[in-house]
Homo-oligomer: A and B are copies of this chain.
Amino acid sequence: MSRGLFIGRFQPFHKGHLEALKWILSREDEVIVGVGSAQYSHTLRNPFTLGERIEMIWSVVKQERLLGRVIIVGVPDTNGVHSLWVQTLKAWLPEFDTAYTNDPLSRRLLKEGGIKVMSIPFFNRNLYSATRIRELMLKGEPWEHLVPEPVADYIKKRALIDRLREIEGATQL
Protein backbone atom coordinates (compact mmCIF):
# COMPACT_ATOMS: atom_id res chain seq x y z
CA MET A 1 0.00 0.00 0.00
CA SER A 2 1.38 3.42 -0.96
CA ARG A 3 0.69 6.67 0.84
CA GLY A 4 1.31 10.24 -0.26
CA LEU A 5 1.49 13.48 1.71
CA PHE A 6 -0.26 16.54 0.32
CA ILE A 7 1.05 19.46 2.37
CA GLY A 8 -0.42 22.96 2.36
CA ARG A 9 -2.02 25.64 4.50
CA PHE A 10 -5.42 25.46 2.76
CA GLN A 11 -6.49 29.03 3.56
CA PRO A 12 -9.00 28.06 2.23
CA PHE A 13 -9.16 24.66 0.49
CA HIS A 14 -10.14 25.49 -3.13
CA LYS A 15 -10.95 23.66 -6.34
CA GLY A 16 -7.30 23.61 -7.37
CA HIS A 17 -6.51 21.79 -4.12
CA LEU A 18 -9.31 19.34 -4.83
CA GLU A 19 -7.99 18.64 -8.33
CA ALA A 20 -4.50 18.14 -6.89
CA LEU A 21 -5.86 15.79 -4.23
CA LYS A 22 -7.64 13.71 -6.86
CA TRP A 23 -4.51 13.62 -9.01
CA ILE A 24 -2.44 12.38 -6.06
CA LEU A 25 -5.14 9.80 -5.27
CA SER A 26 -4.75 8.53 -8.83
CA ARG A 27 -1.16 7.68 -7.96
CA GLU A 28 -1.36 6.62 -4.31
CA ASP A 29 -3.62 4.31 -2.32
CA GLU A 30 -4.04 6.82 0.49
CA VAL A 31 -3.28 10.51 0.92
CA ILE A 32 -2.52 12.42 4.10
CA VAL A 33 -3.72 16.00 3.81
CA GLY A 34 -1.20 17.77 6.04
CA VAL A 35 -2.69 21.07 7.17
CA GLY A 36 0.33 23.25 7.97
CA SER A 37 0.79 26.33 10.14
CA ALA A 38 -1.77 24.68 12.40
CA GLN A 39 -1.44 27.15 15.25
CA TYR A 40 -2.04 30.31 13.22
CA SER A 41 -5.30 32.07 12.40
CA HIS A 42 -6.92 35.50 12.34
CA THR A 43 -4.40 37.09 9.94
CA LEU A 44 -4.89 38.10 6.32
CA ARG A 45 -2.56 35.31 5.28
CA ASN A 46 -3.92 32.68 7.70
CA PRO A 47 -7.48 33.74 8.46
CA PHE A 48 -8.97 30.36 9.40
CA THR A 49 -8.21 28.24 12.46
CA LEU A 50 -7.03 24.66 12.07
CA GLY A 51 -10.41 23.44 13.27
CA GLU A 52 -12.19 25.47 10.61
CA ARG A 53 -9.83 24.23 7.89
CA ILE A 54 -10.22 20.59 8.96
CA GLU A 55 -13.99 21.01 8.98
CA MET A 56 -13.96 22.43 5.44
CA ILE A 57 -11.70 19.69 4.08
CA TRP A 58 -13.68 17.02 5.92
CA SER A 59 -16.91 18.21 4.33
CA VAL A 60 -15.30 18.00 0.87
CA VAL A 61 -13.88 14.54 1.54
CA LYS A 62 -17.34 13.34 2.53
CA GLN A 63 -19.08 14.91 -0.45
CA GLU A 64 -16.48 13.58 -2.89
CA ARG A 65 -16.77 10.09 -1.37
CA LEU A 66 -13.06 9.96 -0.58
CA LEU A 67 -13.51 8.67 2.98
CA GLY A 68 -11.13 5.84 3.74
CA ARG A 69 -8.49 7.13 1.38
CA VAL A 70 -7.84 10.59 2.87
CA ILE A 71 -6.40 11.27 6.36
CA ILE A 72 -6.57 14.93 7.42
CA VAL A 73 -3.91 15.93 9.98
CA GLY A 74 -2.81 19.32 11.31
CA VAL A 75 0.89 20.14 11.74
CA PRO A 76 2.25 23.19 13.58
CA ASP A 77 5.00 25.20 11.95
CA THR A 78 8.26 25.47 13.85
CA ASN A 79 8.39 29.22 14.52
CA GLY A 80 11.00 29.87 11.87
CA VAL A 81 13.26 27.01 13.00
CA HIS A 82 13.15 25.40 9.57
CA SER A 83 15.62 22.64 10.40
CA LEU A 84 12.98 21.01 12.65
CA TRP A 85 10.04 21.14 10.24
CA VAL A 86 10.53 17.82 8.44
CA GLN A 87 11.13 15.99 11.70
CA THR A 88 7.93 17.52 13.05
CA LEU A 89 6.10 16.12 10.01
CA LYS A 90 7.61 12.70 10.68
CA ALA A 91 6.44 12.74 14.30
CA TRP A 92 2.97 14.21 13.72
CA LEU A 93 1.92 12.27 10.62
CA PRO A 94 1.29 8.61 9.83
CA GLU A 95 4.05 7.19 7.66
CA PHE A 96 4.10 8.19 3.97
CA ASP A 97 6.22 7.37 0.93
CA THR A 98 6.16 10.56 -1.12
CA ALA A 99 5.51 14.23 -0.38
CA TYR A 100 3.67 16.36 -2.93
CA THR A 101 4.31 20.10 -2.88
CA ASN A 102 5.46 22.90 -5.16
CA ASP A 103 6.75 25.22 -2.44
CA PRO A 104 10.52 25.66 -2.93
CA LEU A 105 11.44 25.79 0.78
CA SER A 106 9.27 22.78 1.66
CA ARG A 107 10.78 20.83 -1.24
CA ARG A 108 14.34 21.62 -0.18
CA LEU A 109 13.70 20.76 3.47
CA LEU A 110 11.95 17.51 2.58
CA LYS A 111 14.79 16.47 0.28
CA GLU A 112 17.43 17.28 2.92
CA GLY A 113 15.36 15.12 5.28
CA GLY A 114 15.61 12.17 2.93
CA ILE A 115 12.01 12.29 1.71
CA LYS A 116 10.98 11.71 -1.89
CA VAL A 117 9.30 14.85 -3.27
CA MET A 118 6.99 15.18 -6.28
CA SER A 119 5.61 18.29 -7.95
CA ILE A 120 1.89 18.78 -8.40
CA PRO A 121 0.60 19.86 -11.82
CA PHE A 122 -1.19 23.17 -11.39
CA PHE A 123 -4.86 23.23 -12.26
CA ASN A 124 -5.62 26.73 -13.49
CA ARG A 125 -3.25 28.38 -11.08
CA ASN A 126 -4.28 31.88 -12.13
CA LEU A 127 -7.83 31.00 -11.22
CA TYR A 128 -7.33 28.77 -8.20
CA SER A 129 -5.06 30.54 -5.76
CA ALA A 130 -5.82 30.90 -2.05
CA THR A 131 -4.15 34.30 -1.98
CA ARG A 132 -6.35 35.52 -4.81
CA ILE A 133 -9.46 34.06 -3.19
CA ARG A 134 -8.73 35.92 0.04
CA GLU A 135 -8.30 39.14 -1.96
CA LEU A 136 -11.64 38.62 -3.67
CA MET A 137 -13.26 38.04 -0.28
CA LEU A 138 -11.80 41.29 1.02
CA LYS A 139 -12.94 43.25 -2.03
CA GLY A 140 -16.46 41.85 -1.89
CA GLU A 141 -16.13 40.20 -5.28
CA PRO A 142 -17.40 36.69 -6.15
CA TRP A 143 -15.19 33.90 -4.82
CA GLU A 144 -17.71 31.11 -4.17
CA HIS A 145 -17.19 29.45 -7.57
CA LEU A 146 -13.50 28.93 -6.82
CA VAL A 147 -14.00 26.62 -3.83
CA PRO A 148 -15.92 23.35 -3.47
CA GLU A 149 -19.53 23.93 -2.54
CA PRO A 150 -19.30 22.69 1.08
CA VAL A 151 -16.39 25.11 1.66
CA ALA A 152 -18.41 28.05 0.35
CA ASP A 153 -21.37 27.00 2.48
CA TYR A 154 -19.25 26.73 5.61
CA ILE A 155 -17.57 30.12 5.14
CA LYS A 156 -20.91 31.82 4.54
CA LYS A 157 -22.73 30.08 7.39
CA ARG A 158 -20.03 31.18 9.84
CA ALA A 159 -19.74 34.67 8.30
CA LEU A 160 -15.97 34.15 8.18
CA ILE A 161 -15.54 36.82 5.53
CA ASP A 162 -16.51 39.36 8.16
CA ARG A 163 -13.44 38.21 10.09
CA LEU A 164 -11.17 38.94 7.16
CA ARG A 165 -12.67 42.35 6.63
CA GLU A 166 -12.62 43.27 10.30
CA ILE A 167 -8.97 42.41 10.82
CA GLU A 168 -7.88 44.15 7.61
CA GLY A 169 -7.03 47.39 9.40
CA ALA A 170 -5.16 45.81 12.30
CA THR A 171 -1.56 46.80 12.92
CA GLN A 172 -0.29 43.50 14.25
CA LEU A 173 -0.99 40.88 11.65
Contact = CB atoms under 8 A, between A and B. Distances in A.
A108 B82 CA distance: 24
Interface stretch (A17-25, A46-54, A120-128): A46-54
A92 B40 contact: no
A142 interface: no
A136 interface: no
Interface in A33-83: 38-43, 49-52, 54-55, 58, 62, 67-68, 71-74, 76-77, 79-83
A119 interface: no
B38 A94 contact: no
A103 interface: yes
A97 interface: no
Across the A-B interface, the 8 shortest Cβ-Cβ residue pairs: A105-B170, A83-B91, A42-B82, A87-B87, A55-B94, A104-B169, A67-B67, A108-B166
Interface of A: 38-43, 49-52, 54-55, 58, 62, 67-68, 71-74, 76-77, 79-84, 86-88, 90-95, 103-109, 112, 114, 163, 166-173
26 contacts: A40-B80, A41-B83, A41-B91, A42-B82, A49-B83, A49-B92, A52-B94, A55-B94, A55-B95, A58-B94, A71-B72, A76-B76, A79-B79, A83-B87, A83-B91, A84-B88, A84-B91, A87-B87, A103-B172, A104-B169, A104-B170, A105-B167, A105-B170, A105-B172, A107-B166, A114-B114
